[in-house]
């Protein structure tokens, strides 16, 4: 085994200004409160738009201090020139999160723009292998981005510790990265800085779930237009990025480099300086000649070659890479997941939320309280059903899975019901969060203790009832007008506040 010879770079390699990260030039879909008050909208259209806003699992808090909600712990988990990451414990719920804290005074306008850009990108993504953003707090001095906490550390540290991974373990890691990238690319988002430091283990189990992080250099791309900004990290950057003419397949090259390092313990391109490394990257020549590669299968080498193809046109995309025999040998078998599919289906069959507030609070509870243990089995089921690895369940994929446990007519009928009742954002497919919310054990999730804590978290003044103003702090990002909030509460009772009894009855209707 060779000595590991790769250093963690101090910063990303970027020779150009990050013009596309400027929020004035980056186009995001804007949501206006006035859109809900458009007189041309039908009652159902207003309800649908309101539901989407209420179910937005990422809330941006302008009028709520993070210190009223979280106890921020020391020391930092990591820090940079203008930001640090700390653990934060929710004062009511008792749940620990990761909180990225950005100092506006120490960051340039460009750096602040990059942080806000990253948050906007992450808000759009819902995939089990991409870190989930939960809340954003902002005041005049700082920005706080709250995400799920990954406790297993960076893949970089695991590489340093192990130096080489078995092919079986490498496949498990690379497949998850590819699934996350396939989802991103399907949604026209390119990461542009895939490297071991940006891959975290969800838990201490190095064979468990990984999460892709750091979308600060990502961007929405146009498939008909090449990108031209030179950005990335020397060891992993694709040759065409250096020439400022590239597309989303730059991520695939980086994934190929990462696979190479996992299997042999050192990078394909090395040098005494950054310039020397980049010179070798630009040439794009690498080999499998050292003794570490003698025990590596030809399939693994072929897989790397397909990703590290210098010509981007010939290079595999994420969907093709997931079908490569080296990766596909560990595909989840729907047949093996039948007991779990049957269990998930029974929960999905009884899931139907008819009230907007009920749906919003339930999604909040799922986001806050569902544990890694709760979701591990559901994740296997979801990935077994997701046969095209795009991170969503289509009608056809659901139908294929349901045919295994019921007849054709029942399966067709059940698929239509699932799409009607569970596709709450009307995307035309079942997203991962929607699947988890509908499939999780609701009797266990909606315990009296959790309901009491959730009520307490929303009831900010502690007077024993929830008002419209308190609901607005948690749901809808301030984009739902008071008159619509009144209509929403009237679905629960004829008052303008909700007692704990009202709250419990509303939520326990979902438990059975």
Rounded CA separation 11/359 (Å):
42
Point out which residues pair with 287 in neighbouring strands. Answer: none
Rounded CA separation 278/232 (Å):
11
Q: Is 375 annotated as a binding residue?
A: no
Catalytic annotation, pick one of 193, 386, 423, 459: 193
Closest to 383 in 3D by CA, of 124, 147, 172, 125: 172
What is 1-50 written as a DSSP string?
Answer: -PPP-----SS-EE-S--GGG-TTTS------GGGGG-TTS-HHHHHHHH
Rounded CA separation 396/359 (Å):
26
How many Cα atoms within 13 Å fall on the side-chain side of residue 491?
Answer: 14
Cα 449–Cα 91–Cα 139 angle in degrees, nearest 5: 140
Point out which residues pair with 84 in neighbouring strands. Answer: 79, 101
Q: Is 502 annotated in the active site?
A: no
| Count of CB atoms situated within 10 Å of the CB of 50 | 21
Evaluate whether 152 touches 204 at the Cβ level (below 8 Å): yes
Closest to 102 in 3D by CA, of 86, 120, 121: 86
Which value, to the nearest 10 degrees, does the dihedral of the CA atoms of residues 352, 354, 358, 360 take? 90
Strands 199-201 and 133-138: unpaired
CA distances from 228 to 246, 247, 250 (A): 7, 9, 12
Cα 441–Cα 401–Cα 323 angle in degrees, nearest 5: 115
Q: Is 422 helix (H, G, I), strand (E, B) or coil?
A: helix
| Count of CB atoms situated within 10 Å of the CB of 289 | 8
Integer-rounded Cα Rg, in Å, for the chain is 24
Please enumerate, by residue number, every residue annotated as part of a binding site.
100
**Annotated active-site positions, please?**
193
Please enumerate, by residue number, every residue annotated as part of a binding site for ATP.
100
């Amino acid at each position: 085994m060779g000595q590991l010879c790769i250093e963690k770079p101090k910063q990303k390699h970027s020779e150009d200004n990050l013009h596309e990260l400027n929020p004035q030039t980056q186009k995001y879909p804007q949501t206006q409160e006035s859109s809900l008050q458009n007189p041309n909208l039908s009652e159902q259209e207003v309800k649908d738009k309101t539901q989407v806003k209420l179910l937005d699992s990422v809330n941006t808090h302008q009028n709520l201090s993070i210190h009223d909600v979280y106890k921020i712990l020391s020391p930092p988990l990591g820090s940079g020139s203008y930001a640090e990451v700390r653990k934060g414990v929710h004062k009511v719920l008792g749940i620990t999160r990761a909180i990225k804290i950005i100092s506006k005074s120490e960051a340039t306008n460009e750096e602040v723009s990059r942080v806000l850009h990253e948050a906007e990108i992450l808000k759009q993504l819902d995939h089990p292998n991409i870190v989930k953003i939960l809340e954003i707090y902002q005041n005049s001095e700082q920005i706080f981005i709250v995400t799920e906490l990954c406790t297993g550390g960076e893949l970089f540290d695991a590489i340093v510790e192990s130096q080489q991974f078995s092919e079986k373990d490498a496949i498990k890691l690379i497949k998850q990265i590819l699934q996350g990238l396939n989802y991103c690319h399907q949604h026209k988002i390119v990461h542009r800085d895939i490297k071991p430091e940006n891959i975290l283990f969800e838990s201490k189990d190095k064979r468990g779930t990984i999460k892709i992080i750091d979308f600060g250099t990502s961007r929405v791309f146009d498939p008909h237009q090449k990108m031209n900004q030179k950005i990335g990290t020397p060891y992993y950057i694709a040759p065409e990025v250096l020439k400022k003419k590239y597309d989303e397949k730059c991520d695939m090259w980086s994934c190929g480099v990462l696979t190479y390092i996992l299997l042999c313990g050192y990078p394909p391109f090395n040098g005494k300086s950054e310039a020397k490394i980049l010179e070798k990257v630009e040439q794009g020549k690498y080999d499998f000649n050292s003794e570490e590669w003698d025990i590596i299968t030809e399939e693994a080498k072929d897989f790397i070659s397909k990703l590290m193809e210098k010509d981007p046109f010939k290079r595999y995309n994420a969907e093709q890479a997931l079908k490569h025999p080296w990766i596909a040998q560990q595909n989840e078998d729907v047949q093996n997941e039948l007991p779990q599919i049957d269990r998930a289906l029974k929960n999905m069959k009884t899931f139907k939320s008819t009230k907007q507030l009920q749906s919003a609070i339930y999604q909040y509870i799922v986001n806050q309280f569902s544990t890694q243990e709760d979701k591990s089995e559901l994740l296997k089921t979801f990935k077994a059903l997701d046969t095209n690895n795009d991170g969503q369940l289509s009608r056809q994929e659901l139908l294929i899975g349901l045919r295994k446990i019921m007849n054709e007519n029942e399966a067709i009928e059940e698929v239509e019901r699932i799409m009607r009742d569970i596709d709450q954002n009307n995307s035309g497919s079942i997203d991962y969060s929607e699947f988890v919310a509908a499939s999780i054990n609701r009797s266990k999730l909606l315990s009296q203790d959790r309901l009491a804590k959730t009520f307490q978290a929303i009831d900010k003044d502690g007077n024993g009832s929830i008002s419209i103003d308190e609901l607005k702090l948690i749901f809808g990002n301030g984009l739902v007008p008071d008159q619509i909030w009144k209509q929403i509460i009237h679905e629960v009772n004829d008052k303008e506040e909700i007692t704990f009894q009202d709250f419990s009855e509303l939520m326990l209707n979902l438990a059975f």
